[in-house]
Amino acid sequence: MDEEDVAEWLYGEASALLDEASDMGVMEKLVDRVSVECRRRALERLVQNAAEHQPLDCPDCKRPMNVHAYRRTRKVNSSFGTVRFVRSYGLCTNCGERVFPADVKLGLQVRAPASPRVQEVCALTTLRAPAGQAQEDVRRLTGIDMDASSLHREARRQGERALALRDADTALTKTLPGVAQLMGRASVPSSPFTLVIEIDAWNIRERDNWGKTKKFRDAAQETGRWHWVYTGTVFRLDQRGTTAAGRPIIAERGFVATRAGLDCFRSQLYAETLQRGLLQAEHVLILADGAIWIWAIADDRFKKATQRVDLYHVQEHLWDLAHELHGQGTDKAKEWVTPFLNWLKRRTNGALDVIQGLEGLRTTLENLTTAQRAALDREIGYFQGHKNRMDYKTGKALGQPVGSGAIESTCSQYQRRFKLTGQFWSLDGDEAFLALATLHRNRRWHQLFPHDST
Ligand SMILES: [Zn+2]
């Protein structure tokens, strides 16, 4: 029997089931349905063959194991239905591990029914939508029939695997050989390059402290029912460009997102930047809004980096002050703020001119209210604190970003999925799922699903 015979048989089976009303979609589904049992059986034999040929060696240390049980049956849910096979179980006297080596070789996890393809489908679809919504799409698109809680459980399991990979990378930052290993993964150009790191945070639950966000954020405090997700992105300046339509685009970049606190974020960001060329870069630039915790991380972990506070946040500060002094939305406010905005963008040390201008207002503007005086002092303090992070003129001349738009769009992409999940994910589940989403963004999917790269 050759391929021609198989096609002939398949045609016969499918055409017997057609009726006059059938469109091509019906035909596609019929061909799929009548061939599924063949595919299942073929897969089952392939799996059994692989299990037969798998030596009973320890997957970790590769030494032969003592056999504990021969030919135990395992059931796996595959893309084509349930597959059964038998394999043996051993004990490694070296590691103390009890394991089915064939299961490890096949990419199956302990006490989990999903085949690697099914694992991947569960992981990928729950990245887009909660399992309750994804379930129906999965059935329609793949024929895999899973209830929402199985889908969720499987995706969660893949999240735990992603978390383990992430934590293994982070652990490498603790030793010099580990740092060298991370650095060795960076693919960098031979010419000098600039590495850009952008940092921000968003909260994973509905906030219940409206109006106090900034205060909590500056102190990096958790509060109430919501948690900060610290988020970073890293890319080379030469990887930034624009689409034909003029939209900014970054060809390749790394991501970090965690709700496990600032210490974890700092280590993860360090691990990711090492893998993106931190130690090979000629210049490192860190961009963010004014939050204090960000600059503490920059001072601590990225000492040689140029720090830059997002221009648009700084402009907001000037606009807020303009409205406080001259009234919301007035021409007078606009007239007042324009020279300040220009100094900031166009002058070397423009921030110093802004500070001088603001200090001058204390004496030249008469009849300031208490609130206005307080706003003025607050903004002078803000500019004093960040003046060394405001060299926009040089930044523009070097073709560097002056705003942290890349991280802001990253955060909103994460939020589109994670703001939905409220009750569905436990706190631990959130972190596992963040790790999964981040692994996917970092284009390391093949580390969990090697079949993806073949
Ligand atoms: Zn072993």
pLDDT category of residue 343 using cuts at 50, 70 and 90: very high
Long-range contacts formed by 90-97: CB under 8 A, 24+ apart: 90/56, 90/58, 90/65, 90/66, 91/65, 91/66, 92/58, 92/60, 92/61, 92/63, 92/65, 92/66, 93/65, 93/66, 94/58, 94/61, 94/63, 95/58, 95/60, 95/61, 97/58, 97/59, 97/60
CA dist 218 → 41, 215, 224, 371 (Å) = 60, 5, 16, 22
Which letter does DSSP use for residue 423 in this model? T
Q: How many angstroms does the Cα of residue 93 sit away from the middle of ligand 1?
A: 7
346 and 301 in one domain? no
331 and 222 in one domain? no
CA dist 196 → 54, 180, 277, 286, 307 (Å) = 47, 20, 10, 6, 10
Q: How many angstroms does the Cα of residue 268 sit away from the middle of ligand 1?
A: 30
Write down the pLDDT at residue 205.
Answer: 65
- Can you tell me the mean pLDDT for 169-187? 97
Write down the pLDDT at residue 355.
Answer: 94
Q: How many angstroms does the Cα of residue 99 sit away from the middle of ligand 1?
A: 10
Q: Does the residue 366 lie in any domain?
A: yes
Q: Is the pLDDT of residue 369 over 90?
A: no
- 281-293 pLDDT tens trace: 999 999 998 788 9
Entry pTM: 0.88
- 211-220 pLDDT tens trace: 555 666 676 6
322 and 283 in one domain? no
Q: How many angstroms does the Cα of residue 91 sit away from the middle of ligand 1?
A: 8
Q: How many angstroms does the Cα of residue 98 sit away from the middle of ligand 1?
A: 9
Looking at 367, 393, 419, the residue that finishes a domain is 393
Q: How many angstroms does the Cα of residue 105 sit away from the middle of ligand 1?
A: 15
Looking at 364, 393, 422, the residue that finishes a domain is 393
Q: Does the residue 380 lie in any domain?
A: yes
Which of 47-56, 131-140, 276-285, 380-389 shows the lowest mean pLDDT across its residues? 131-140
pLDDT category of residue 225 using cuts at 50, 70 and 90: low
365 and 267 in one domain? no
Q: Does the residue 432 lie in any domain?
A: no
Q: How many angstroms does the Cα of residue 153 sit away from the middle of ligand 1?
A: 29
Which of 75-79, 118-122, 139-143, 268-272 shows the lowest mean pLDDT across its residues? 139-143
Q: How many angstroms does the Cα of residue 53 sit away from the middle of ligand 1?
A: 19
Q: Does the residue 202 lie in any domain?
A: yes
Q: Is the pLDDT of residue 422 over 50?
A: no
Q: How many angstroms does the Cα of residue 66 sit away from the middle of ligand 1?
A: 11
pLDDT category of residue 131 using cuts at 50, 70 and 90: confident
Looking at 309, 337, 368, the residue that finishes a domain is 309
365 and 265 in one domain? no
Q: Does the residue 254 lie in any domain?
A: yes
323 and 274 in one domain? no
267 and 209 in one domain? yes
Write down the pLDDT at residue 454.
Answer: 56
Number of domains forming the structure of the chain: 2
266 and 330 in one domain? no
Q: Does the residue 42 lie in any domain?
A: no
Q: Does the residue 137 lie in any domain?
A: no
CB–CB of 119/395 below 8 Å? no
Q: How many angstroms does the Cα of residue 90 sit away from the middle of ligand 1?
A: 10
Q: How many angstroms does the Cα of residue 60 sit away from the middle of ligand 1?
A: 5
201 and 300 in one domain? yes
Write down the pLDDT at residue 220.
Answer: 67
Q: How many angstroms does the Cα of residue 94 sit away from the middle of ligand 1?
A: 5
Q: Residue 339 belongs to what domain range?
A: 312-393
Q: Does the residue 282 lie in any domain?
A: yes
Q: How many angstroms does the Cα of residue 57 sit away from the middle of ligand 1?
A: 8
372 and 290 in one domain? no
Determine the Cα–Cα distance for residues 397 and 278; give it in Å rounded to an integer: 22
221 and 331 in one domain? no
353 and 259 in one domain? no
Q: Is the pLDDT of residue 389 over 90?
A: yes
